[in-house]
Structure 1
Amino acid sequence: MNQLINDHLCETRNILVEEFKSLSDTQFNAKPDANSWSIAQVCHHLTLTEESFIRLIAWGLKQEDSKQTERKNIHLIADRTTKVPAPEILEPAKDFFTVQHIIELLDDSRGKFIAFLDTIENPSILAEKSFKHPVLGELPLDQWVELVYIHEQRHIGQIKEIKAFI
């Protein structure tokens, strides 16, 4: 895997965990209002998303008709001024999560993601194949990899907003 991508993944994950690791489990599960997610749910959503990206990228790699497509400005995903509803499959559970449990889930999903990327013999193939993103359209698979940390950056902003209410 590209070292710069790996650095971004590590740096963003560290920032994410720093945002919530000192919260009590009650604060972690508090919601600003009935229609919002708690910080715990935001983090659970991130683990679900990361694991879904593994399946999506693996599927994209297997597609013979997958084509190279233009690169997109994926940093638009970090812009919180546009609300983007999560697909149902990526909606977090309504469970009460402990901070420690979410840290373990985040570690597990990241470990699986890195291990998956390490199985790709020729990572340059990621730039040659694409898969449709629900907001950005056809997106090269290597940009899907970058979306993991950009998506986390978006939700770090959300976590900061939630913290202001709890």
Structure 2
Amino acid sequence: MDQFASDNLYETRNNLVKELTLLSDVQFNSKLDKNMWSIAQVCHHLVLVEEASIKAIAWGLKETGITLIERKKIQPILLDRTKKLQAPKIVEPDVEPFEVQQIIDLLNDSRKKLMTFLSTIDDKSILAEKSMKHPALGELPLDQWIEQIYLHEQRHIEQIKEIKLLLDARR
């Protein structure tokens, strides 16, 4: 993994945690509408996506042979919030309420698992040479699986900011 991706993972996660730290547990679990996720659920979804991404990358690395696949422009897809993406069941959040600190701990744990896993890959160039099917983006080189983690997180940070504004407006 290159320094750019590592820096983006770090910076994006810090921005996410900053958005959460001043929230009460009530705000954190408040839903604007029964069909929308709370901020807590958005964050739980991010934890689940990160953990699923580790599994997908590990699975892709086990595949034999090189599967050079064309790189996709995933940034415009993931950051365009006018286009709703359906979360696969495996990364749908729990409906139970969470505490802010509990989610921050889960986020820290999933990021630590990701960074530890990535540190075990001796030859990082293999990440550009192997691919795995992503549920929303199709076949992606494994290094773009890493990229999609922080881009996906950036997408949801914007959603969290929006939810916070709407919750404040209700008061």
TM-score (norm 1): 0.97
SS at match of 1:164: helix
Amino acid at match of 2:16: L
1:118 aligns with 2:119: yes
Question: How far off is 1:133 after superposition?
Answer: 1.6
Deviations 1:125-150 (A, max 9, x none): 00000111222221100000111100
1:106 aligns with 2:121: no
Q: State the partner residue of 1:53.
A: 53
Distance, in Å, in 1 between the alignment partners of 2:66 and 2:19 is 38
The count of aligned residue pairs is 166
Distance, in Å, in 2 between the alignment partners of 1:78 and 1:112 is 25
What's the % identity of the aligned pairs? Answer: 61
Q: State the partner residue of 1:93.
A: 94
Question: How far off is 1:66 after superposition?
Answer: 5.4
Any unmatched runs of 5+ in structure 2? none
Distance, in Å, in 2 between the alignment partners of 1:163 and 1:128 is 41
Q: State the partner residue of 1:20.
A: 20
Q: State the partner residue of 1:37.
A: 37
Q: State the partner residue of 1:149.
A: 150
1:3 aligns with 2:36: no
SS at match of 2:125: helix
Amino acid at match of 2:71: R
Distance, in Å, in 2 between the alignment partners of 1:127 and 1:112 is 21
> Which of structure 1's runs of 4+ aligned residues deviate more than 2 A?
none
Any unmatched runs of 5+ in structure 1? none
Q: State the partner residue of 1:163.
A: 164
TM-score (norm 2): 0.94
TM-align CA RMSD: 0.9
Deviations 1:93-116 (A, max 9, x none): 011101000000000000000000
